[in-house]
Structure 1
């Protein structure tokens, strides 16, 4: 017969055994997921994003007008030139230009700049910047309470990429290029040592697909001393864009900084 002390000890052991076999006691409740995405809190944010389409991490630079809530703003993609990066738009002064335009009456919008390469098209390897823009960037923007891209702007190589993007997205409200790096012939394009072959260039070259570009909402800017002037004039002649501006300047920061206010206003008025 068990003594009272033995009975109590056995009960305690049984209780301990039952606790060890059961699930551990619950910890603190998890933090509830936000009911809506979080918009950028600062006029400029820079974040590294893993891009499966490009096979590398890229900078996502978001620029919004100072003093304007970012939530729900429409977005214009910004594509940089060869040898530059998404952060180049910061050194060009885009944040101040955007804020000044909005304070002067242009409807507010956000600018999303990404890191790209090789004329923003796939040239043979797995790196596909256009797929990043189409398949990944909209989700990145939605997670920050911004709308999917409805406009695109590109400088030099980025102008090539912007027109390539516009061919596949006729619903865009605005497309703008500054000093678009376009090629009138394969020997000219081949000299850049970027495209895999002539077929790759022909498939991507905007000048060979001008029928796929809408003149409405398209703006073309180029300096009169720019090496791509003849190619950009050919684009204007073939498409008859809504706005085309050829003015003094070269293929450099000074020219781009000079035309940025007009381009930002052009985009904002069409996104409203």
Structure 2
């Protein structure tokens, strides 16, 4: 079994959480292994398993990250939703395993991070591929099969921020919702330019900025770089919701910024999950 250092040392950093580039080398992390036949605790702090998602009509990676040296059985879970063109393994490239372990060793209550592959802003755009239904109907069973608790928090980067806020609307009992550089759209022409949504009605039904009354301020944390193209939209979100945490700091829509805020995000999530 590869060590955590071995897993991350060879990771290609070309695939960013908010871009559409493709990796040139093998995916980071361990090779995918079959799903367990019954509930069993995880044996390694990083595992990758290939799962069949009926909701999405395809196979997806399920990446599970737990703090090193902490028993995984019964840990609370935070979902991690990646950006457009990225994948679940992106959170390994961004250094979540080491950051999570460091956060727990610094006093943050332990929890697990679960990332899955998604697409088209993590919503149903009428193509027969429904990432939100996967998160709601399928992921809980996948977590239970690994002796983890149901997800009670969600963290999303870029497109994943859109998806995280959409998930929060449907699950008001979540204890923490965190977004980084959330890809939000202040108008239909802006959203239409992404060529993702099936039409204006589809966008209006899903756009978080049009449903801010359904978001709970006490559970929400918003991070965005001051050179990010979504800065204006994220400021609009903060003005409408007045989240528990809102931090705008130097940075762009790049992995360097997301790595830099990971400790704050993980601390925010862990404190609320406890």
TM-score, structure 2 as length reference: 0.86
Aligned match of 2:142 in 140, 143, 154?
Answer: 140
| Structure 2 residue 59 is the aligned partner of structure 1 residue 52 | no
Partner of 2:229: 227
The answer for unaligned runs of 5 or more in structure 2 is 1-35
Please give the alpha-carbon distance, in whole angstroms, between the structure 2 residues aligned to 1:96 and 1:217.
25
Alignment equivalent of 1:121, drawn from 120, 123, 127? 123
Deviations 1:10-50 (A, max 9, x none): xxxxxxxxxxxxxxxxxxxxxxx99x720111000000000
* Deviation digits for residues 249-272 of structure 1 (CA, Å, limit 9, x no counterpart): 000000000001100000000000
Q: Could you list the runs of 5+ residues in structure 1 that have no partner in the other structure?
A: 1-32
For residues 70-219 of structure 1, the aligned pairs below 5 Å read 70-219=72-221
Aligned with residue 63 of structure 1, among 48, 53, 65: 65
2:248 maps to what in 1?
A: 246
Q: How big is the shift at 1:214?
A: 0.3
Separation in structure 2 between the aligned mates of residue 170 and residue 203 of structure 1, nearest angstrom: 17
Q: Which has the larger radius of gyration?
A: 1
Find the residue that maps to 1:42 and give its secondary structure. Answer: coil
Distance 2:203 2:47 in 1: 34
Separation in 1, partners of 2:130, 2:39: 27
Deviation at 1:238, TM superposition (A): 0.1
CA distance in 2 between partners of 1:253 and 1:192 (Å): 21
Structure 1 residue 124, shift from structure 2 partner: 1.1
Question: Post-superposition shift, 1:185?
Answer: 0.1
Alignment partners' CA distance in 2, 1:267 and 1:123: 29
CA shift, 1:57, in A, is 0.3
Between the aligned partners of 1:114 and 1:133, the Cα distance in structure 2 is 9
Once residues 155 and 39 of structure 1 are traced to their aligned partners in structure 2, the CA distance between those partners, rounded to angstroms, is 28
Distance 1:39 1:55 in 2: 27
Query: Which 4+ stretches in 1 moved above 3 angstroms?
Result: none
Question: How many residues end up aligned between the 2 structures?
Answer: 239
Q: In structure 1, what is the Cα distance between the partners aligned to 2:41 and 2:87?
A: 23
Secondary structure of the corresponding residue to residue 201 of structure 2: helix
CA distance in 2, matches of 1:98, 1:217: 20
Deviations 1:125-155 (A, max 9, x none): 1100000000000000001000000000000
